[in-house]
Structures are given as C-alpha cells and as structure tokens.
Structure 1
Amino acid sequence: MMSALKRHAILILLSLLPAVGAAATPEGGSRDRPNVLFIVCDDLKPLLGCYGASWIHSPHIDRLAAQGTVFTANYCQVALCAPTRFSLLTGMRPDRTGVYLNPDRPQDLLRTRFPDLVTLPQHFKNHGYVTHPLHKVFDGRTVDAGHDAVSWTVPYGPWELAPGDPPAPGGYQDPETKARLREARSAGERPVGPATEACDVVDDAYHDGGLARTAAKRLREFTQTGRPFFLAVGFVKPHLPFVAPTVHWLRYERESIPLAPFQDLPRGSPHDLAFYGNSGEVRDYADVPGSVPLPAGFQRELIHGYAACVTYIDAQVGLLMRTLEECGVAGNTVVCLWGDHGWHLGEHGHWGKLTNYEDAARVPLIVSAPGVGRGRRVGAVTESLDVFPTLCELAGLPAPAHVEGVSLVPLMRGTAERSRDAALTQACHGRGPQATMGWSVRTPRHRYIEWRSADLSGDPPVFGERPHAVELYDYESDPEERENLAARPEFGTVLAEHQSILARLLPQRPADGGAARDGIHAGMPVP
C-alpha cells in the first residue's frame, strides 16, 4: 500500500508540472517577483536575543533580524491560536470575523462564514505563486481538511520524520512516557504526559525538526518551477508541552534562569486568577504541582523548557535560511517570521495566554525583504493584522479591499515614523450568553482595557451597552503592570483619550455612555 508521504509527493509533482518553465503566471504574476517564506511559531513571545533577551540562545533568528526589520512593539489581535491566525490570514479584526475563541470542535468556520473571501496565501496563489502550507498555519479547527484547500496550489500534507518510532500524541519521544501513555489509553483513561521533556534524539525525531527538513525539501523543489513561491511553515513550539532534543536544553544553566519579577495581579485589577483559568493550560499536565503559586524550582524548569524550545525552533529557522542560500534565492525571498501570540511565564502569577497584558499581547515580528529595511528596528506600535498588506506591497501586489491592516513598508524604508496610533488586542472569557469581552488599546506609553458583558450565543454577538470594568497602565513608570491607574483622578484625561481611540477603532461597538465621566474604574460596578 502506498504511504501517505508517497501519495503526497505525487500530488506535489502533479501540481507543479504545469508550471515548469513558465515565464508568465496568472493575473500578471511573474517569476521576477520575490518569493515569500512565511514562518509562524506557536506561543512565541519576544523572548529572543534580537528583542533584548540576552540570555536566550537564538543566533539564527538574530541573524535574520540583522538582515531585515524588527518590529519591537507589535501586538496580536487575540492571545489565542485560532482567532489571531484567522485575523492575520484573512486581514480582518476578530469583531469582523466573529472568531474570538478556539472552537470546541473542528469546523470550517472560514468558508462557512466567508465562502468567497480571499486569504493571504490565496491572494498570492491568484497572482501566480506556488503556495503550500506545512503544519499549523491556520488553526486546523477553523478550516477544512485541506487547511483551506482553495488557498494552496500544492495541497496540505504530511512531513517527514527521522527513521524510528514516531512521537506519541503531545510530541513525546521519551520511551517511559510513551509507555505510560499507552497504558493509560489501554485502561480507558485520558493519557496525560509531563509538561517538559528533554530527549537525546536528533532534531527531526520531533515534529518541528521533521517539518523543517520537509520545508527545506519543498524550497528546493519550488525553486525549480520558474514561478515565485509562498511557503508557509507553522512550527508548534514553543507551545506546551515543552519538549525538545537534549542538545537545546544544554544551552542553559537552570539555576541562572531568571524568574518573572512580578508575580501578582496588578493592584486594582478587576479580576482574579480564576478569571484567567488559574493557569489551567499548564496545570493540565501530569507533573505540574497543584500549589499556587508554582514553586520556584518548577518555574525554572518550565522556563528552561520554553527556552529550549525557542532554541530548537531557532535551529530549524537556521536550516531554512541555509537552504535559501544554497538554492540561490536568498536575495529574492521575503522572509516573515512572527509569533501568533505571547505567553505568560509566571508574570502576574499566570502560566498561559488569553490575557490583554503585555506578556500575552506583544509578539515578535521580523520581516527581511530584498533591499528594504536591512538592520532597522521599528519601535512604532504595529499589529499582526498589518502583515497581510505588508507582504502584498513587498511583492508588488495590490491588497484586497477587505483587508483592515496597513502596510508597514514605509516604516521599513524609514519614510514614516508610525503607521497607526494604537494597537487593538482583545480577549474573550466564557462562551454562550454569559461571556466577558475585553478590548485593549496599546499606545506607545499606555494600555487601556475595557471589559463588557458578551452574549456569544447569536450571530452577531451582543455586547453590553457600557463597560463594567476598565484598566489603565503606564509603561513608562510601570513596565511590569503593577498598578491599574484607571481609578486615579490625575489619569482621567489619559483614560478619556484611550476610550476615544477605542471608539474610533471599533465604531460598531456600543457607545460607552461616558464611562470616564461616570466613575467606571477598576472593577467598580456600573451606577
């Protein structure tokens, strides 16, 4: 019987054959247009050398950053996988897509809600590009089995792993862990593995190493077609569980790893840790202590694991960069590397995502483009939503009319100092009629967060007429978000300014009825 890999290889060959030797491509495309290598990393916060984390070993990503533009104040739309990827790849905010949470079950939300919408890779496909996804680009729970098949010329398919026993569910390679998981399944129990694993195996014994090697193979194939390519590579690390080959763990001395300096919620926070799930994402693993907060030793183990996964992914990025150079196309390829959202590593006492705080909302974005922005660092506020129009401009393509982001190319060229006044991130907690939605406005100095009731049982959702709580932070005087300033009278003007920005960004949101004037601060009840 033919293996899945062999069947997919035949599909790739068939999809590429018509294009071999083609000088012109559909809708005016040309092989002179730049290629695009689109790399997304799951749960990657800006914990990288090029973002100032000097203790992190990320030489290949740092080199990419030196060759391109680093956006140091970039923010995601939602600190959760499905909605933030949905927004970036469609070019629309969550309040337009209606995707706020990870779906309870896989369903083709994209084509059910937007049957004719053109996605980012589909737009490149329509202009003659070879387009292909590897692993988690969209969140698979929001698209069809082909990873939104209409977006790709080369179909979604498997990646190659090193010879030997494949990873267990969760990506584990340790033989003892695999045996325990098998025993649990045989007993009809839910198999639960540890939060971390260091195993002395080659990189492609784990999924992301195999993914990188398959991506390198695709790069070699696509450079022979005579057409530009858009290759999307979705690495799953540093998402939990923090599993990586031992060699990457050995880059760090655990006792020297820094812990989060502030591990409490801000003074005046309208919520407690239960609102944020009591770090349920990490507590879902078998070896995580039940105490609150986590013991310092275990905190260091988790951060060590996250750092090892970052270094592991960095090695895979290095492989892809070398492959571009070996194929002779590095000088004509746009490389875009981004994290889908951040992740709290103990900051505010939280281990996980889905907050509107800086550690969850701020994400790395690095764009390296031929002849544009080499070695530039942009501190202006940007959004992940801006990636779609930015890649379009770099490739010489018009951005579709529905796209809500703005191109960052003027910032890359140094011809503009800013592209927007503020970044908008939001977080939804709960489902159905009893949910809570929080919108966050991040300006260069401040963050304003507004919380309203949300009824998600209908389409469109219904939000409360007025906020029931607000938060305000000043990053110049309080970079660790230690105090919610919304209740302090001297910040009334700043509060009102940010509420006006939010009203401008989301004109469809119900008016707040003068929240700044009515004393709705820091979780105080609405009068």
Structure 2
Amino acid sequence: MHVRCDYLARLLYLMPFLTGLVACSQTGRESSTKPNIVILYTDDQRFNTIHALGNEEISTPNIDQLMTEGTTFTRAHTMGGESGALCVPSRAMLNTGRYINSLASYGAVIPSRHTMMPELLKELGYKTFATGKWHNDRNSFVRSFTDGDNIFFGGMHMPDVGGHERPWLYHFDSTGKYPPEAKWQGNGFSSNYFADAAVEFIQKQQDVDQPFYCYVAFSSPHDPRTPPKEFAEYYKSREVTLPENFMLEPLFDNGELKVRDELLLPTPRPPDLVQRELALYYGMISEVDAQIGRIIKTLKETEQWENTILVYAGDNGLAVGSHGLLGKQNLYEHSMRVPLIMAGPGVPENQKSDALCYLSDIFPTICDLLSVEKPNTVEAKSLASIFRNPEADFRDEIYYLYRDFQRGVRTADNWKLIKYHVRGQETTQLFNLNNDPDELINLADHPAFTNQLNELTQRLKNQMAFYGDKLNIDKSNWGKRIPVARKINQKHLAVGKKIHLTSPPSSKYDGEEPDALINGKAGLLENFTYLWQGFEGNDLEAVIDLGKSTTVNKISAGFLQNTSSWIFLPQHVEFAISTNGQSYEVVADLKHTTSEEDLEPAIEDFSQKIDSKQARYIRVKAKNLGTCPNWHQGAGQKAWMFADEIVVE
C-alpha cells in the first residue's frame, strides 16, 4: 500500500529546489574558475530510501531532482566498523580517502599524518566551513575548518537531554578549544539549524572572490526518530509496507543482538511497531530532503550553483525491521549500501552508475575534478573515470567487516558471501543478489552452488589480504582474538576464590561469567563482549577473598583502551591488602602509561611487586575517567572502563 500524496503540497515542497533550475546535459556543468565544494551527509540513511530509485512510499523530491542534475552511484557502500558506531569510520573514510583497516583507531582519531579533504582545500586557497555532526576527534576538526556554526560534537542527540528538537551545539571557536561551558541548547529541529548555518554561509560567499568548501553533516535520520509534526503526519504507519525481508526475529545470533540499536523494540519484532518506526524514519528523511532543497535553492539564487561540485551521501544504512534487525551492525545490503550522488562541473547529468564504490572514493574524485594530485595518504580510487566512460571497469568486488566476527564480500556480478563466527558457532550465507536482492535465500549449503561458495570464500580472503585485514577465517578461533598484551601466570592465586564487586558491571558487558575478573582467562584485545567486564561511567572496586592468609608477591590488573568504542584506561588503579578484611594497607597507586589520545586499541597491565606480604583479602580500586574527554567525539558522555583479570601471585 502506498502513502497518499497531496499534489499541491508536494509541489510546494519541491519549490525550493526548482528555484533556479538549470537545463540538464550529458556532459555536466563546466567552469573556468575554481569550483566550490559542498558535501551533504546524512546519518543512518539506507540506499533504498529515495523515491526516484524505486521507493514509491517515500517523498524525496529534492534528492530526486538532484539525480537529474548529476550522476547517481547505485552501488555505493561503507565498509563496516570495529564497533557499533559505524558512522565513526565512515566519516573518517570520507574525509581521508582511506580504507577502514588503514584508519587510526578505526576513525575515532584522525591523526595529522593523514591529510583530510578540507586540509587539502585550505592549502589550495579554499575557505572551509562546517556545520552539523562531527563524530571523530575534535583536533581533526580544528585543523580542518576556518569557519563554521551550529556544530554538534557527538554521535546522536540523546532524547533525555533534548533530542533533535533541542540539540546541544557550538558556535565556531577560532581558538579550537570548544569548552563545555560554550555549548548551547537550541530550540528547533537539528537539521534546520544545520541548513540555516549552511544557507547563511553560502549567502555571505556570494560576492567573495574565494572558493569555499561547505561540509553539512546532518544528524538525521538517526534516532531518536522524532520528525517535525508536518513530516510525522505525512506518513501513516498502517499504510507503510513492511520490507520484503522483514522478519519477526533474526535467524541466528550474529554476535551483536544486544547492542543499543537492537534494543529499541522488543523481540520478536511486533509488525505494527516496525511500521511505526518506518513511518517515522521516512518522515525524518523527507525533513532532511527539505533542508537539502533549501541549501541548493540558495546556491542557485546566489548564482553559485553553476560553479559548485555537490556531493550528497549517507554514512551507513539501517535495518529497521529487515532480517529481524533494527540497527546497522551487520553486513546486509540495507546496512552497508548508502546513497551517493555527485553533481557539478565535470560531472555528467542524469546518469546512473552501478560501479562498486566506497565512501572513501569521494576524496580522490574531488581531487580529479579539481585537477590536483591526491595526497599520498589517500588510498581510494577516483570515480572520474566513470564520468568519462560510464562503462569503465572499476572494482570487481568489495569487502566489508564488522568487529572480529563478521566478514563479507560482494562481487560486481552480484554474488555475496557473509561469514560469521560467534561464540564458537560458524555461520555462512551465500546470496545471488540478481534474483534475491533482499538476501532471503541462503545458498551456502546447496550442493549446486559449491563452486560459487568456494570462489567467493577465496575472493573474500584475497580482499581481506588486500585491505590489510589480519583476521584468519580459516582458523576456528576467529571471533575470539588471542590477547597480545599479557599472559596469565600459572601461579595465579585468585582463580576459584570469591570476589565481591561494590558496583556490578554493565549487564551488556558482564564478562559472561560471574568471576570473570579472576577466572584465569585473559581478556581479548578487540572482542570486548567476551571476558571483559565493562563499567559505564562507574568506578571499579573489587575485593578478593583468598580463603586464608597467604604470601603475596605481586598484584596486577588488566584494562582495555579502545577509544573508538568510548573505552578508556582508568585514571589510576589502587592495590591494597588485608589480613582481616577490615583494615587495608595500600601497596600501590598506579597511573597508566598509555596516552589517552593513543591511536590504537591496547591492553595495559597495572602491576606491582610487593615483598612477600601476608594477605587474605586483595582490594582493587580503579578510577573511571567518568566522561569522554574534550578531544573525543563523545565528549561529555559517559566513558567506559573495561577490566579483564586481577592476577594475584
């Protein structure tokens, strides 16, 4: 059943974009002066949420019109991620032109050694402006932009502090400090603030003899899905069709069924609630579409459209009921494929390309369109060859990953393989997307497709090697990476003893065993759902009862740092011993030696030798950082602290 559209309302809605409409051509707009660059980036918008690409239930007139004025890439992808926040690596890929395994800390921090698109454009004389969401470290933002406004540092507008309706934002700070007290709360919808900032900036640039780069990163349609009234009322949930691959619940455990996104609705998924979420999701997208129309209208009214390269893209997709899932922490098409349209000088109009491409390809494409050499840190491929020849070969396959338990590959002829290894259970899916675009028919165990299975398995291995993926899917222990930073001493006295925690860990990261901190098993470097105990904003205080007074020579405790997942080392760790459980002697108060801005995940051992002291009780206190630091994309939000093993020797 299709959503009813009022013709006059739709025409009025489309008017902002139609203002200044220029004629289409097959060669693209040409310019004799250095063109402006505008990036319009949406958050959690999957590829099949555009009316002109076949979704008859959604209204996106401005994006539809943009398709007639540029080239649409129908098989654009993100690459996945090493944490649930897929938007972090996707934004780093866009801004650096690098592939996921080459990003520092999987994109949480973009180091100065990786040249970013706005940095290059600054060197070329561009004024660089940003508004909207920045979900990477703040230092990379500061060195990239010379101007901006209505800036949101973070992942999402949390509903308990205002949501999209009252977003917390910053004005541009030329000092680059952005202190918490400078944050201010708006009184209008988030994407409206971001479009306002872009419109005002473009208007001011009308008579300025300097090219500009305008980066507009909408935080919509990311949840909370609360579109303004006129867009919420546009879609009736009972009239929105469930996707063909809707399922009441997932077919199997993909390793990430407890992540926040998947807990937004109960399981099994009530169909009526999924329809409601889809209606709200469509409302959010139509609202963003209207803001996109405002920005393009301004470019045309100020006579800058003809000399502007515009890129519209999404950072990652979203399930919203498909395959029984809600989030994007999976490798299905609805989560990995994203919208991508480019328009402007040198870009053919009203064309589509089915080239397999990544978000990383945008940066080198801009370099080609500007006739400048791409920086040597840029790894991706330019799409300009497709502008010159739409039939040109581009990629034979693409690869994706999610954490260390999902890997996938898709070929240019539309075959796809996904492999999982979750808690010792291996699952393989093989799809022929030519006749099964919704990924419903798993051919992996069908004898007739053994050759395709073997071929795609080898192609996946080749792609993993090419992109620097160190995981070995031939080994049965992938999904549980072997720790590289510490070993457990065989004389571990606390194994099998009693442990008491003053405050329990998060139920999502409880180590899977009540005695996970003293079970003799080391926590793993990157699979932090296994063995680690996670504390969100809280300190750790643990008391181990050895059962009797014992000679103790050494105490150590391991902690994880993974800044892309908001996991930080403790500020300090205190060890104390007691013979009676009442009076304690502090034997160590240690600080970590790893920089909090270190770019790679790490395990650090806090360790202290003591002189053969008698003790029955061992007390360990670890001080949580509390909130993510100012440089981090989650600044001000609760920080995680992960502990694995308290070793007593």
TM-score by length of 2: 0.59
Shift of 1:415: 4.8
Q: Which residue of 2 aligns with 1:423?
A: 398
- Structure 2 match to 1:154: 147
Q: Structure 1 residues 74, 252: CA separation in 2 closer, same or farther (over 3 Å shift)? A: same
Does residue 73 of the first structure (1) align with residue 75 of the second (2)? yes
Instruction: Tell me the CA shift for residue 155 of structure 1.
Output: 5.2
Q: 1:42 to 1:513 in 2, by over 3 A?
A: closer
**For the residues of structure 1 that align with 2:474 and 2:161, how far apart are their CA atoms?**
54
For residue 137 of structure 2, what is the aligned residue in structure 1?
A: 143
Structure 1: distance between partners of 2:249 and 2:435: 14
The alpha-carbon distance between structure 1 residues 357 and 415, as it changes in their structure 2 partners (threshold 3 A), is closer
2:110 is the counterpart of 1:110 = yes
Q: Are the aligned partners of 2:331 and 2:406 in contact in 1 as well (CA < 8 Å)?
A: no
> What is the alpha-carbon distance in structure 1 between the residues aligned to residue 323 and residue 161 of structure 2?
33
Q: Aligned partners of 1:513, 1:272: CA distance in 2, in Å?
A: 18
Secondary structure of the equivalent of 2:227?
A: strand
Partner Cα distance (2:401, 2:149) in 1: 30
| Partner residue in 2 for 1:450 | 419
Shift of 1:501: 2.9
Q: Could you report, residue by residue, the CA deviation over 1:279-333 in whole angstroms, capped at 9, with x for unpaired residues?
A: 732635xxx5x3x223222112111100000000000000001000011010010
Partner of residue 127, structure 1:
124
Residues 235 and 280 in structure 2, CA contact (< 8 A), matched pair in contact too: no
Q: Is residue 2:379 matched to residue 1:404?
A: yes
Q: Secondary structure at the match of 1:387?
A: helix
Partner residue of 1:283?
263
Q: Is the 8 A contact 2:202 2:299 kept in 1?
A: yes
Alignment of 1:44-443 (within 5 A): 44-46=45-47, 47-78=49-80, 80-100=86-106, 109-111=109-111, 115-136=112-133, 138-139=134-135, 142-144=136-138, 148-154=141-147, 158=151, 168-172=161-165, 205-264=188-247, 271-272=252-253, 275-278=255-258, 280-281=260-261, 283-284=263-264, 288=265, 290=266, 292-428=267-403, 435-443=404-412
Q: What SS does the aligned partner of 1:322 have?
A: helix
1:12 is matched with none
- Is the partner of 2:147 in helix, strand or coil? coil
1:313 match: secondary structure = helix
Deviation at 1:437, TM superposition (A): 4.4
What is the deviation of 1:158?
A: 4.4
Cα pair 1:503 1:509 within 8 Å, conserved: no
Aligned CA distance change for structure 1 residues 276 and 51 (closer, same or farther; 3 Å): farther
Distance 1:378 1:224 in 2: 36
Between the aligned partners of 1:450 and 1:513, the Cα distance in structure 2 is: 8
Q: Which amino acid aligns with 1:35?
A: N
Residue by residue over 1:145-183, the C-alpha shift from the partner in whole angstroms, topping out at 9 and shown as x without a partner, is x55211122256549xxxxxx995322469xxxxxxxxx
CA contact (8 A) 1:90 1:120 kept: yes
Relative to 1, partners in 2 of residues 1:401 and 1:493: Cα closer, same or farther, differing over 3 Å? farther
Aligned to 1:493, the other structure's residue is in SS state helix
Task: Work out the CA distance in 1 between the residues paired with 2:249 and 2:74.
Answer: 24
**Aligned-pair distance for 1:71?**
0.6
* Structure 1 residues without counterparts, runs of 5 or longer: 1-29, 104-108, 160-165, 175-202, 429-434, 455-463, 521-527
Instruction: Return the alpha-carbon distance in structure 2 between the equivalents of residues 296 and 321 of structure 1.
Output: 37
Work out whether residues 257 and 304 of structure 1, in 8 Å CA contact, stay in contact via their aligned partners in 2.
Answer: yes
Q: Which has a greater percent of helix?
A: 1
1:279 and 1:351 in contact (8 A); partners too: no
Who is 1:8 aligned against?
A: none
User: 1:373 and 1:204, CA in 2 relative to 1: closer, same or farther beyond 3 A?
Assistant: farther
1:70 is paired with a residue whose SS is strand
Percent identity over the alignment is 25
Find the counterpart in structure 2 of residue 26 from structure 1. none
CA distance in 1, matches of 2:437, 2:473: 30
Judging changes above 3 Å, is the alpha-carbon distance between structure 1 residues 232 and 510 closer, same or farther for their aligned structure 2 residues? Answer: closer
In the TM superposition, residue 420 of structure 1 has moved relative to its aligned partner by 0.8
Check 1:127–1:343 CA distance in 2 against 1; reply closer, same or farther (3 A cut): same
Change (3 A) 1:149 1:157: farther
Measure, in 1, the Cα distance between the counterparts of 2:471 and 2:164: 47
Write the distance in 1 (CA, Å) between the matches of 2:246 and 2:398.
25
CA change 1:222–1:31 in 2 (3 A) is farther
User: Structure 1 residues 495 and 99, CA, compared in 2 at 3 Å: closer, same or farther?
Assistant: farther
Q: How many residue pairs get matched?
A: 416
Q: Tell me, in whole angstroms, the C-alpha distance in 2 between the residues paired with 1:266 and 1:297.
A: 14
Bigger radius of gyration among the two: 2
Secondary structure of the structure 2 residue equivalent to 1:344: coil
- Letter of the aligned partner of 2:44 in structure 1? D
Deviations 1:72-115 (A, max 9, x none): 111111161111111221111111115448x6xxxxx222xxx3
Q: 1:52 to 1:332 in 2, by over 3 A?
A: same
* Alignment-mate amino acid for residue 51 of structure 2: G
Distance in 1 (CA, whole Å) between partners of 2:142 and 2:473 is: 45
Structure-2 change in CA distance of 1:76 and 1:509 (3 Å): closer
Distance 1:513 1:81 in 2: 25
Residue type of the alignment partner of 2:121: F
1:366 CA drift (Å): 0.5
Find the residue that maps to 2:113 and give its secondary structure.
coil
Q: 1:116 to 1:157 in 2, by over 3 A?
A: farther
- SS at 1:447 equivalent: strand
Question: Structure 2: how far apart are the matches of 1:496 and 1:406?
Answer: 28
SS of 2:396's equivalent in the other structure is coil
Q: 1:124 to 1:452 in 2, by over 3 A?
A: farther
1-side partners of 2:474 and 2:198: how far apart? 53
Q: Which of these residues, 434, 441, 448, is aligned with residue 483 of structure 1?
A: 441
Tell me which protein shows more strand as a share of its residues.
2
Cα distance in 2 for partners of 1:158, 1:483 equals 44
Shift of residue 266, structure 1, vs aligned partner: 11
Give the deviation of 1:396 after TM superposition.
Answer: 2.0
Contact 2:166-2:190 at 8 Å conserved across structures: no
Alignment check: 8 A CA contact 2:409 2:459 kept? no
What are the Cα deviations for residues 103-154 of structure 1, in whole angstroms up to 9, with x where unaligned?
A: 6xxxxx222xxx3221122111121111111121x41xx312x552111222
Residues 57, 157 of structure 1: CA spacing in aligned structure 2 closer, same or farther, 3 A cutoff?
A: closer
Q: 1:204 to 1:58 in 2, by over 3 A?
A: farther
User: Cα offset for 1:476?
Assistant: 1.7
> How far apart in 2 are the matches of 1:168 and 1:425?
34
CA RMSD in angstroms, aligned pairs only: 3.2
- CA distance in 2 between counterparts of 1:427 and 1:513 reads 13
How far apart in 2 are the matches of 1:32 and 1:219? 17
